[in-house]
Copies of this chain bind each other. A is one copy, B any other.
Amino acid sequence: MAVGEGVPFDDRGLAYGDGLFETVLVRDGVATLWEAHMARLARGCERLGIAMPSRSALDALPGRAGAGLRVLKLTLTRGSGGRGYRLPDSPAPRLRWRATPFAPSPERWWQGVRVRHCRLALGIQPRLAGLKHLNRLENVMARAEWQDPDVAEGLLCDSEGRLVEATSMNLFWRRDGRLETPGLARCGVAGTLRDGLCRRLGIQEVDAAPEVLEDAEAVWLGNAVQGLWPVHRLDDARGRMLACWRLGSVHRELQAEAHALLGYPRHAGEAGQRDEEDEA
């Protein structure tokens, strides 16, 4: 089942990116981190002034996503409007969804990933920060900065040089024994996996320059669909290596917490995953 009805020309999601989306990991009809997704959607609706769809309508969607592992993407727009930015007098928000089969990357879980810095710097916009809204051209342009399939993600700073996130994942690191993640009050998307980890583990939200990563004991990227990827190599925007890490138990501890939230294996031996060849 993969329903994905479109929108008309005058839909404000199409016209202005005037709306929100969520991508949810669904396993045999059961959504993971569902309450966190619904809470973020509700925050977005409140911030943008869009009426939140009924919880009964939303809660019915994971069950319709089909068997096996799926990604349920739901898109909520302000609905149709006339020409111009002014809000419609009687907006009728439009909810659309599609579920597609999904397979995560165990190799990235267990062997880690190589990432690079992006040249693009995110604009600072506190009014939209944290939301998963439909204005994502910055992410699109940042993702277009590299083609090398060995590079799994690109890291983004804001226009004042602070670390924010990766193009589609949140960023975590450990230094001096403390877990940290960039604060997202100025820009970036507050991921639901990040939310879950911060609540469970008291991860500190900090303002940090990108150089902090080069001295970190461990670096990870994660989101609610892919799970948590340890970073084994960090490159600059020209592809030159800045730092590398040997994956170890420190990496696995946070990964186990993240994967417990998502129903993914907590270590390479679990659920028939391959062994961690690069670990002691």
How near does chain B come to A92, taking the closest CB pair, in angstroms? 15
Query: Chain B contacts of A83 at CB under 8 A?
Result: 23, 71, 73, 100
A259 in the interface (beta carbon within 8 A): no
Is A237's CB within 8 Å of the partner chain B?
no
Known A14-B14, A123-B187, A159-B124; judge A87-B6 contact (CB<8 A).
Answer: no
Copies of this chain, tallied across the complex: 2
| A:212-249 near B, CB below 8 Å | none
Count residues on chain A whose CB falls below 8 Å from chain B CBs.
55
Q: A17-B135, A134-B15 are in contact. Are A143 and B86 (CB under 8 A)?
A: yes
Instruction: Check A137 against B17 for contact (C-beta < 8 Å).
Output: yes
Verify if A269 is at the interface (C-beta below 8 Å from B): no
The 9 closest A-B pairs by CB, nearest first: A123-B123, A17-B17, A4-B9, A135-B135, A16-B136, A123-B125, A85-B143, A6-B8, A85-B139
Beyond A23-B83, A120-B127, A135-B137, 19 additional contacts (C-beta under 8 Å) are A6-B11, A7-B7, A9-B96, A10-B98, A15-B75, A15-B136, A16-B136, A18-B136, A84-B143, A85-B142, A85-B143, A87-B144, A123-B124, A123-B159, A124-B124, A128-B141, A133-B137, A134-B137, A135-B138
